[in-house]
A and B are shown apart, each in its own frame.
Chain A
């Protein structure tokens, strides 16, 4: 199985590796996958005052395709509104990285990770919205 240049670049030079304080109210954390299945992604977003994603970080346990998919996801969501970020489809990630068919689940996981991080952020802000 051979991998695309873009995928290898993300694997060799992953963007936005790291962690944000998960207790920070402006941070949303998504943790998806399972160790027993061979991949776990943690993706975090920090939302700015303008409602856009000011920063994103990830850590991934998984194969090269999983690492590259999550790295790409953080790159894409930065600067986007939550609604825009939420509309990213796994097929776009798979296409950009030219993932082979057996690796499509890695892009699905990346999409799930984005959605989970946004969901976590929104959960944190629910009471505020309700009070409004």
Chain B
């Protein structure tokens, strides 16, 4: 079974053009280096999903016939697979449409249930927008929210967190791994602290599940958001882990037939559920080897660039970091301008110019990265199908584009002439 599955992957990936094939040095382009944005669905996952679109199409909530039982069985198997990767009980898994919904359900659900007694929650300024926006929304409903700063390396200061928790704190929501800078928060320490102080601990683990080991028991996690498409599963699929012992109570956001123990009504999308389950099963099996391989590739990318280019800065902690994430600031070269120069590499930029606003990444700003450096940042996301040839090619492309754009940069020129850019009175616009 395993051997057969692997063959399918190699074949499919080869067809997709990601495989280097034939030992050529120039990999097929464009090269995908944006795995924190999304991942391709693993061909093995797609294969597991397919029967549930057609012949096994039953409604998993149909209790009275074979089609329903067949779908229910598949859903329950997936629930076990998802639970297994985080050390949970299958009955603690609620399927949702994705991590955004899971975060909304966890945060609004817990706070709305508890706010009469405990109306305070804590989160970080570097959280994903869906966490911050949910918190903002709750503020309008009278919930008090504390947005904690992070240290220069992107990690929460445990002393600051401890000081922020009060007897009124119902929930602490701190992400497992950051989507921009990949830093991994000290989950076990946070969990222990929250448990001792009587606050629930929710973690947005969209970027972390399947990438680093997670254990809801050892880490004292009460709620955890999971995404399908960040772990080579389908888009439009996610899950929320909700602890049973001691039981976490929350108010549903979506009402209806009372599916998912009343926490999330609506007919489960069996093919997507099966896909999420299979993605978790594969990730659980391959995580140790994959993490090791990605770490080597990431260091190859980092060393390859920094050995040849001066004034390149790593954003976020180097050690406590997702294996597949590298976020660099290239001083004196604006991020979006750089992206145009490396258009064969599909990456993301923390520069303002990628959005309609003129504000650079709020995550980098929270780290104390100066605005001018925040504008020069690029996120490289490596993943399951990234090859060594692609990394070597990326190094060449980045080094050549940055060198060219620095020759074009008035700021680089000033720096070479020894002019302090901060001494100039710039007209902000």
Which of A55-63, A79-87, A90-98 forms part of the interface with chain B?
A: A55-63
Q: Is the CB of A35 within 8 A of B351?
A: no
Partner of A33, one of B341, B352, B426: B426
Q: Is the CB of B337 within 8 A of A35?
A: no
Q: Is the CB of A40 within 8 A of B411?
A: yes
Residues of chain B within 8 A of A39, CB atoms compared: 334, 353
Q: Is the CB of A60 within 8 A of B410?
A: yes
- A39–B337 Cα distance when bound, in Å, is 10
Query: What is the interface size of chain B, counting residues whose CB is below 8 A from a CB of the partner?
Result: 30
Residues of chain A within 8 A of B333, CB atoms compared: 61
- Size bracket, chain A contacts: 20 to 34
Which of A11-19, A46-54, A117-125 forms part of the interface with chain B?
A: A11-19
Residues of chain B within 8 A of A19, CB atoms compared: 413
Chain B CB within 10 Å, residue with most, of A41, A62, A102: A62
A115 interface residue, CB < 8 Å from B? no
Partner of B426, one of A34, A42, A66: A34
B334-362: CB near A (< 8 Å → 1, else 0) gives: 10110011000000000111001010100
Residues of chain A within 8 A of B332, CB atoms compared: 61
- A57–B129 Cα distance when bound, in Å, is 42
- A59–B426 Cα distance when bound, in Å, is 16
B375 interface residue, CB < 8 Å from A? yes
Residues of chain B within 8 A of A3, CB atoms compared: 340
Residues of chain B within 8 A of A14, CB atoms compared: 408
- A19–B413 Cα distance when bound, in Å, is 9
Q: Is the CB of A38 within 8 A of B353?
A: yes
Chain B CB within 10 Å, residue with most, of A19, A42, A64: A64
Minimum CB distance partner of B373 in chain A? A35
Minimum CB distance partner of B407 in chain A? A17
Q: Is the CB of B360 within 8 A of A40?
A: no
Q: Is the CB of A35 within 8 A of B375?
A: yes
Q: Is the CB of B371 within 8 A of A63?
A: no
Given contacts A35-B375, A37-B429, contact A59 B409 (CB under 8 A): yes
Q: Is the CB of B336 within 8 A of A59?
A: no
Q: Is the CB of B410 within 8 A of A41?
A: yes
B388-409: CB near A (< 8 Å → 1, else 0) gives: 0000000000000000000111
Given contacts A11-B340, A37-B429, contact A42 B410 (CB under 8 A): yes
Partner of B408, one of A17, A31, A102, A105: A17
Q: Is the CB of B410 within 8 A of A40?
A: yes
B286 interface residue, CB < 8 Å from A? no
Residues of chain B within 8 A of A37, CB atoms compared: 352, 358, 371, 428-429
Chain A CB within 10 Å, residue with most, of B332, B334, B409, B424: B334
Given contacts A61-B411, A63-B351, A63-B353, contact A35 B371 (CB under 8 A): yes
- A59–B408 Cα distance when bound, in Å, is 5
Chain B nearest CB from A76 CB (Å) reads 19
B3 interface residue, CB < 8 Å from A? no
On B, residues with C-beta under 8 Å from A are 332-334, 336-337, 340-341, 351-353, 356, 358, 360, 370-372, 375, 407-413, 421, 424, 426-429
Closest 9 CB pairs of A and B: A34-B426, A35-B372, A42-B410, A36-B371, A64-B340, A63-B336, A59-B410, A38-B375, A63-B353
Sample 10 A-B pairs with CB under 8 A, ordered by A number.
A34-B427, A34-B429, A37-B429, A41-B410, A42-B410, A61-B337, A63-B334, A63-B351, A66-B337, A109-B429
